[in-house]
Structure formats: structure tokens, C-alpha cells
């Protein structure tokens, strides 16, 4: 059992969340509510039946059901309601700042205009009880031409998102497939991140760094297979946005007790803890901290480190980061 002081600290400590797909925060209850609102038919008769289907064997088996769930989103109000629900939940977990992924191609492919998607999500962020910014993700199972067209569609809304990312099916879709669209995003002054080393090999992490010029690696847990890469990631203080519950649900690790979070920290890597797709993987960001600390030899000093890392890795001004750093230290100095 997790010691009460540690449990309380994990819940109450100020933190940033940097790896959350907003479509992955769509709870089954809201899926059903939106399906009814929009007269969309679902393959599952009840909320319980849908939840029962959340047993995944790998990333692809999850993505199939995740894209089906997103099919109920049609109007800006739908996107607003989904995002507002996540932000309320994050606030309750003492998340001070969230950087939120969204997948426009999942919606534009169904005829929902890009403007509708970003309008609803962005307004919810503006109205939120915490600070939040948006990262537009390209779906890597689609072509680079489609990603380029999406970025062009997004350009009139440049002030509403801070970066671009790369998600969806990793294996067979290496970062270099998206070299040109990331170069264009860089010219636009956008921040760059990419999922790499979730199911894919360490070489995908390397090409995300060398070819895409990313500033953070999403997941990256497979870096430990390559000691030279670990050395580089440590030297460059490259953040890894790790998602413990996701890694168990998608079978990247068998059980939480064999997750490599503690080993990543011991190697000196700039690890952060995040929820990925909280509605599908059994919990929001605090549930991820609690599950990892429950199963692994992690202590208060690791909690402080992870909270610091979360703000250090955020796309915030240095002054803002210093203020959050001081807030984290003030919080932990009272405890030990």
C-alpha cells in the first residue's frame, strides 16, 4: 500500500500534463450523449457494452475503437464539451498547465470542418480553470501529402495552437515519412513533438530528433534498448512524456511492476508522467502517478523530480517555468 503522505503529495502537487489526446478523454457516457444529440448510431448498445470493449492487445486494437468513439463529434459545441470536461478533471488533479493534442484529420475525413474542431477545443481552453495550449497532431498512418494539406488548412488558425505532433500507428510509419511537413511547421515557428519509441524501435526516436528536430519525445520508453541513445537524450535533456497506464493497457509492458519508469529516472532522463487517453486507459494523470508509485520503488523525491520535469518540459516562458519550479519546491519543502 502506498504511504498516505506520498499518495496525498502525488494528488496535491502542482503539475503539468503534456501528453493527452483530447479525443482520448471522451468518456463512454459522453460518447452516448453526443451520439444521441447528433443521431449517430454506435456499434455498442450501452455504455457498459462499450466500456467492456476496452480490452486492447496493442496500439492498433486501441486506435480502431478510439477513432470509432470520435465519430460522435460533429459540432463546435461537441468539441467544447469534450475539452471542458477534460480540463475540469485535470484541474481536480492539480494540473496547472496542460498541452493538449488534437487529431484534426480524424474529423475532417468525416466532413467536419477544421474550423469547427479548433473553434470548440480552443474556446474550452480559453474558458478553462487552468492554462492550456494545443498541439495539432498528424496521423502517421496517412500520407505526408495529407499532413501538408492539414497544416495548410490550419495556417489561418496559427495563433490557436503552439505546436505540431505525430501520432497514430507507429510501426511502419517512421518519423522520416514526415520530414517536409515538420520542416514547414518549424518555419511557421511552431513547437515540434512526435510519438516515438512507444511500440517502435529506438531508431525512430533518433530519426524524430535528427530529421524532424523535435523538442520532446512522446513515450520514448524503448530508448533503454540503446545505451548510446540514452546518453544522448540525457545530454540534450530531451523530455520524454511517459504514460504508464497506457503502456500497460497497450501491452508495452506486461504489468506496472515491470514498467521502466524508475530505470528511466535513474538514467537521468527528463521523464514526465501523463495520461495519454484517460477515458480508455483507466485513469487521469493522478491515477497514472498513483499506479506507477504503487507498483514501483518510487518515493517523494521522485514525485518532486517528476513535477519539476513536467514544467521544465512545457512550452512556457522561462519566467513562468521559474514560478512553477518555486511552487513545486515550496510544496515539497513542507513535506521533507
Cβ atoms within 10 A of the Cβ of 58, count? Answer: 13
Of how many residues is the chain composed? 336
Q: Which does 59 bind (CB under 5 to 8 A by kind): Zn ion, ligand ADE, none?
A: ligand ADE
Kindly indicate which of the ranges 42-50, 123-131, 263-271, 275-283 contains the residues binding Zn ion, using the contact rule CB under 5 A.
275-283
When asked if residue 276 is in the footprint of Zn ion (CB under 5 A), the reply is yes
The distance of closest approach from Cβ of residue 49 to Zn ion in the complex, given in angstroms and rounded to an integer, is 25
Residue 138 burial (10 A CB sphere; 0-12, 13-18, 19+):
buried
Q: Is the dihedral of CA 57, 58, 60, 64 positive or negative?
A: positive
Footprint of ligand ADE (CB under 6 A): 21, 24, 59, 66, 167-168, 195, 198, 246, 276-277
| Cell matching residue 262 | 524508475
Instruction: Name the active-site residue from 198, 206, 215, 327.
Output: 198
Site residue total, Zn ion (CB under 5 A)? 1
Q: CA 76 to CA 160: how far, in whole Å?
A: 15
Q: Which does 69 bind (CB under 5 to 8 A by kind): ligand ADE, Zn ion, none?
A: none
Contact 85, 27 (CB under 8 A): yes
* DSSP character string of 70-110: GGG--SHHHHHHHHHHHHHHHHHTTEEEEEEEE-HHHHHTT
Residue 198 annotated as catalytic: yes
Q: Which residue lies nearer to Zn ion by CB, 119 or 276?
A: 276
Cβ atoms within 10 A of the Cβ of 242, count? Answer: 29
User: Cell 487521469 maps to which residue?
Assistant: 284
The distance of closest approach from Cβ of residue 248 to ligand ADE in the complex, given in angstroms and rounded to an integer, is 12
Q: Which residue lies nearer to ligand ADE by CB, 135 or 303?
A: 135
Q: Which does 259 bind (CB under 5 to 8 A by kind): Zn ion, ligand ADE, none?
A: none
The distance of closest approach from Cβ of residue 208 to ligand ADE in the complex, given in angstroms and rounded to an integer, is 13
Q: Which residue lies nearer to ligand ADE by CB, 34 or 59?
A: 59
The distance of closest approach from Cβ of residue 67 to ligand ADE in the complex, given in angstroms and rounded to an integer, is 9
Q: Which does 168 bind (CB under 5 to 8 A by kind): Zn ion, ligand ADE, none?
A: ligand ADE
**Per-residue burial over 190-201, b = 16 or more CB atoms within 10 Å of its CB, e = otherwise:** bbbbbbbbbbbb
Q: Which residue lies nearer to ligand ADE by CB, 244 or 324?
A: 244
Q: CA 301 to CA 336: how far, in whole Å?
A: 9
The distance of closest approach from Cβ of residue 292 to ligand ADE in the complex, given in angstroms and rounded to an integer, is 16
Q: Which residue lies nearer to ligand ADE by CB, 222 or 304?
A: 222
Contact 159, 188 (CB under 8 A): no
Q: Which does 105 bind (CB under 5 to 8 A by kind): ligand ADE, Zn ion, none?
A: none
The distance of closest approach from Cβ of residue 47 to Zn ion in the complex, given in angstroms and rounded to an integer, is 24
Q: Which residue lies nearer to Zn ion by CB, 196 or 298?
A: 196
When asked if residue 170 is in the footprint of Zn ion (CB under 5 A), the reply is no
DSSP designation for 278:
H
Between the two ends of the chain, the Cα-to-Cα distance in Å is 20
Which residue's C-beta sits nearest to ligand ADE? 167
Q: Which does 310 bind (CB under 5 to 8 A by kind): Zn ion, ligand ADE, none?
A: none
Which residues contact residue 329 at a Cβ distance below 8 angstroms, ignoring those fewer than 6 apart? 304
DSSP designation for 165:
E
The 3-state DSSP class for residue 220 equals coil
The catalytic residue positions are 198
Contacts with Zn ion by CB under 5 A lie at: 276
Amino acid at each position: 500500500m502506498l504511504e498516505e503522505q506520498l499518495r496525498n503529495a502525488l494528488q496535491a502537487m502542482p503539475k503539468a500534463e503534456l501528453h493527452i489526446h483530447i479525443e482520448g478523454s471522451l468518456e463512454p457516457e459522453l460518447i452516448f450523449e453526443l451520439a444521441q444529440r447528433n443521431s449517430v448510431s454506435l456499434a455498442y448498445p450501452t455504455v457498459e457494452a462499450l466500456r467492456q470493449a476496452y480490452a486492447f492487445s496493442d496500439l492498433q486494437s486501441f486506435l480502431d475503437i478510439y477513432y470509432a468513439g470520435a465519430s460522435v463529434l460533429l459540432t463546435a459545441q461537441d468539441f467544447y464539451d469534450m475539452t471542458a470536461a477534460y480540463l475540469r478533471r485535470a484541474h481536480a488533479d492539480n494540473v496547472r498547465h496542460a498541452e493538449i493534442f488534437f487529431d484534426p484529420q480524424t474529423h475532417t475525413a468525416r466532413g467536419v470542418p477544421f474550423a469547427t474542431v479548433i473553434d470548440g477545443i480552443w474556446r474550452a481552453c480559453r474558458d478553462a480553470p487552468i492554462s492550456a495550449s494545443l498541439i495539432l497532431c498528424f496521423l502517421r498512418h496517412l500520407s505526408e501529402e495529407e499532413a501538408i494539406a492539414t497544416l495548410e488548412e490550419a495556417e489561418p488558425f496559427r495563433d490557436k495552437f503552439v505546436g505540431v505532433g505525430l501520432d497514430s500507428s507507429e510501426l511502419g510509419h517512421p518519423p522520416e515519412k514526415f520530414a517536409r511537413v515538420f520542416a514547414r511547421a518549424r518555419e511557421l515557428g511552431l513547437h515540434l513533438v512526435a510519438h516515438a519509441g512507444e511500440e517502435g524501435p529506438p531508431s525512430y526516436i533518433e530519426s524524430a530528433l535528427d530529421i524532424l528536430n523535435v523538442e520532446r519525445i512522446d513515450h520514448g520508453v524503448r530508448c533503454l534498448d540503446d545505451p548510446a541513445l540514452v546518453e544522448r537524450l540525457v545530454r540534450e535533456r530531451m523530455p520524454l512524456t511517459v504514460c504508464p497506464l497506457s503502456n500497460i493497457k497497450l501491452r508495452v509492458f506486461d504489468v506496472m511492476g515491470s514498467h521502466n519508469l524508475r530505470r528511466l529516472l535513474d538514467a537521468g532522463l527528463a521523464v514526465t508522467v501523463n495520461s495519454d487517453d484517460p477515458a480508455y486507459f483507466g485513469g487521469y494523470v493522478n491515477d497514472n502517478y498513483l499506479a506507477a508509485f504503487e507498483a514501483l520503488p518510487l518515493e517523494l523525491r521522485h514525485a518532486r523530480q517528476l513535477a519539476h520535469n513536467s514544467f521544465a518540459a512545457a512550452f512556457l516562458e522561462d519566467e513562468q517555468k521559474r514560478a512553477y519550479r518555486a511552487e513545486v519546491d515550496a510544496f515539497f519543502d513542507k513535506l521533507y
